Structure 1
Amino acid sequence: MIKYIFAFVIIIAIILVAITVGANNDQVITFNYIIAQSELQLSSLVAILFGFGLILGWLITGFFYLKLKLKNITLTRQVKRQTQQINELTTSLDKAAQ
């Protein structure tokens, strides 16, 4: 439930930022990138760069989340294997002691 509320708040924040950026910046500027240049409205350029940064941030966060998730899976398997080995050793020691 908290996850859905958090997602809703993020979506509302993005919409508010987009409306705020688009409402006040109607200047036309020349944007130079490595191989070309184009003329864009400042609001469009800010919205594009904001969206690009948002997507890039999600991708980087997703990569590290996936990496940690895989590490957690391997460590969980290792703990289960070691627990099983400990149980086998204790039962064999108990049988040998009797």
Structure 2
Amino acid sequence: MLKYIFSFVVVVAIILVAITVGANNDQLITFNYILAQSELQLSSLVAILFGFGLILGWFISAFFYLKLKLKNIALTRQVKRQTQQINELTVSRDKAA
């Protein structure tokens, strides 16, 4: 629980720093993207692109975290199965002796 609170505080702090840096830039710029173009304040564009990058980074990190979690579950299942097989072989060896 503490980890999630700390992560949230760090994310909020980063966003506040990005907005503060961008707030001093009130120049209008023309932003061309694939389908159209628009005029935005530089501070708004910085905040939008920073937020997009942050969300994209979280998604990529979540993908790799989920991939590792699933691999961990599969390996844990394999270890349990092998431990059970070892125990069965040990018991059958002890009975034969």
**TM over 0.5, shorter chain:** yes
Aligned positions of 1:1-98 closer than 5 A: 2-3=2-3, 4-22=5-23, 24-97=24-97
Listed one character per residue, the Cα deviations across residues 63-88 of structure 1 (whole Å, up to 9, x for unaligned) are 11001100100000000000000000
Shift in CA distance, 8/80, structure 1 to aligned 2, threshold 3 Å: same
Letter in 1 for 2:19: A
Residues 18, 50 of structure 2: 8 Å contact kept: no
The structural deviation recorded for 1:2 is: 4.5
Q: What TM-score do you get using the length of structure 2 for normalisation? A: 0.91
The structural deviation recorded for 1:21 is: 1.3
The structural deviation recorded for 1:10 is: 2.9
Secondary structure in 1 matching 2:66: helix
The structural deviation recorded for 1:13 is: 2.5
Structure 1 residue ranges without an equivalent (≥5) = none
Superposed CA RMSD in Å reads 1.3
Over the matched positions of the two proteins, sequence identity in percent amounts to 73
The structural deviation recorded for 1:7 is: 2.8
Query: In structure 1, what is the Cα distance between the partners aligned to 2:22 and 2:37?
Result: 22
Letter in 1 for 2:11: I
Query: In structure 2, what is the Cα distance between the partners aligned to 1:25 and 1:6?
Result: 28
Q: Structure 1: which 4+ aligned runs deviate by more than 6 Å?
A: none
Query: In structure 2, what is the Cα distance between the partners aligned to 1:55 and 1:9?
Result: 14
Query: In structure 2, what is the Cα distance between the partners aligned to 1:15 and 1:53?
Result: 15
Query: In structure 2, what is the Cα distance between the partners aligned to 1:5 and 1:32?
Result: 37
Query: In structure 1, what is the Cα distance between the partners aligned to 2:94 and 2:11?
Result: 58
Query: In structure 2, what is the Cα distance between the partners aligned to 1:27 and 1:80?
Result: 62
